[in-house]
Amino acid sequence: MPSEFELIGRYFERSARDAVLGVGDDAALVRAGADCELAISTDMLLEGRHFLPGAEPRALGHKALAVNLSDMAAMGARPRWATLAIALPAVDESWLRGFCEGLFALAERHGVDLIGGDTTRGPLTLAVTIIGEVTRGKALLRSGARLGDDIWVSGELGGAALGLAYLQGRVKLSSEAAWAACKRLDEPEPRVELGRRLVGIAHSAIDLSDGFGADLGHILERSGLGASVRYGELPRSAAFAHLHNRNLEQHCLLSGGDDYELIFTAAPEARGALEALGGELGLRLSRVGSIEAGAATLRLLDRQGKPMTHAGGFDHFKEAS
């Protein structure tokens, strides 16, 4: 069966008559005035696919917007407006109040207005379209990585996938670790401020929705370059240190989706500026590898510098690989 990305490429990716950037990045770009471009992106959450039945409505309201804000972060755009298409199986006003609390609290924090949408009855589905602004020609693209760039990642990886493994009964965690992992899964914090501050510093960026290997892979494909990454340098949730489960840890770090951190590349000359930026934002920024010449594949190295094998990321038509 073709993958999600093969399907998009085969059926939906075509050249746009009048867009700065069409299908294939974290958001599309269209011109709006002399100095401004609009970044536009849609992300959908479906019950049973993106969240478990019975998920808390407040967290769902947060996440439905957060995953879209994350795409604005990946473009270096300032999010401004959103629309919401929602299908509800039944009218449950206390559910709706909780959902709106989560949605509007996050919208308020990022100065985003909900300006439209659609409401219908059906299996619980949440689709948000987000529109942001970015200075003309300044957006961070997947295609911008350059030979010799450092590869950076924000925050910590693997927490959301660990939360999912816990909820599915695949791993036992202390109550504290379980709470932290589920929080990462249910209420990701989109790195909007980081994305905006990376404009003019980073050469390329993507947000982490499908897993480190897959998402870095998109940068490599679009940039036509390869990469090597030191597995030991990947920032990981503290819970993994107590788990002593290497396979699960590796799976969560490399193939686990839903972390909504940013992967970005920048010249080695930018190291000082990025370290200072991480300090200023109170956000860990880790340098994990470098962009190299060659095929658009990721060479993963162990602590001794030896190549390691790794699985791909999440694909909606192939399930977790």
- The binding site for Mg ion (CB under 5 A) comprises 26, 71, 207
CA geometry: angle at 156 spanning 150 and 161, to 5°?
120
The nearer residue to ligand ADP, 209 or 237, going by C-beta atoms, is 209
**Binds ligand ADP by CB under 6 A, chosen from 29, 37, 43, 127:** 43
The residue behind tokens 């949408």 is 117
Query: For residue 1, what are its two tokens?
Result: 């069966």
Q: Minimum CB separation from ligand ADP for residue 163, in Å?
A: 19
Q: How far is the CB of 76 from ligand ADP (least distance, A)?
A: 14
Stretch that binds ligand ADP, among 21-29, 53-61, 116-124, 157-165 (CB under 6 A): 21-29
Residues 6+ apart with CB under 8 A from 33: none
- Contacted by 238, from Mg ion, ligand ADP, none: CB < 5 to 8 Å by type: none
Residues 251-260 as b/e (b if ≥16 CB within 10 A, e otherwise) read bbbbbbbbbb
> Where does this chain touch ligand ADP (CB under 6 A) — which range of 22-30, 90-98, 194-202, 264-272?
22-30
**Smallest distance, ligand ADP to C-beta of residue 209, A:** 4
- Side chain identity at residue 181, one-letter code: A
Instruction: Give 71 or 156: the residue with its C-beta nearer to Mg ion.
Output: 71
Residue 99, token pair as written in the block: 């959902």
Residue 211 Cβ, how far from ligand ADP at the closest point, in Å? 11
Question: Position of tokens 């240190």?
Answer: 241
Which CB sits closer to ligand ADP, 25 or 149? 25
**Residue 70 CB, nearest approach to Mg ion (Å):** 6
State yes or no: residue 209 binds ligand ADP (CB under 6 A).
yes
Q: Judged by CB under 6 A, which of 2, 6, 12, 311 binds ligand ADP?
A: 12
Q: Distance (Å, rounded) from C-alpha 258 to C-alpha 161?
A: 7
**Interaction partner, residue 189 (ligand ADP, Mg ion, none; CB < 5-8 Å by kind):** none
Kindly tell me which of 132 and 248 has the beta carbon lying closer to ligand ADP. 132
Q: How many helices (H) and strands (E) in the chain?
A: 10, 12
Shortest spacing between CB 209 and Mg ion, in angstroms: 5
The reply to whether 23 sits near ligand ADP by the rule CB under 6 A is yes
What gap in Å lies between CA 317 and CA 51, rounded to an integer?
16
Q: Does 71 bind ligand ADP (CB under 6 A)?
A: yes
Quick one: how far is CA 304 from the chain centroid? 29
Binding flag, residue 237, ligand ADP (CB under 6 A) = no
Cβ-in-10-Å burial (0-12, 13-18, 19+) of 319 comes to exposed
Q: How far is the CB of 24 from ligand ADP (least distance, A)?
A: 5
Quickly tell me which residue has 């970015």 as its tokens. 134
**With CB cut-offs between 5 and 8 Å by kind, which of ligand ADP, Mg ion, none does residue 12 bind?**
ligand ADP
Alpha helix segments (H runs only) across the chain: 4-7, 57-75, 93-110, 159-167, 175-186, 192-198, 212-223, 239-243, 246-255, 271-281
Buried b (16+ CB within 10 A) or exposed e, 128-141: bbbbbbbeeeebbb
Residues found near ligand ADP in the complex (CB under 6 A):
8, 12, 23-26, 43, 71, 209
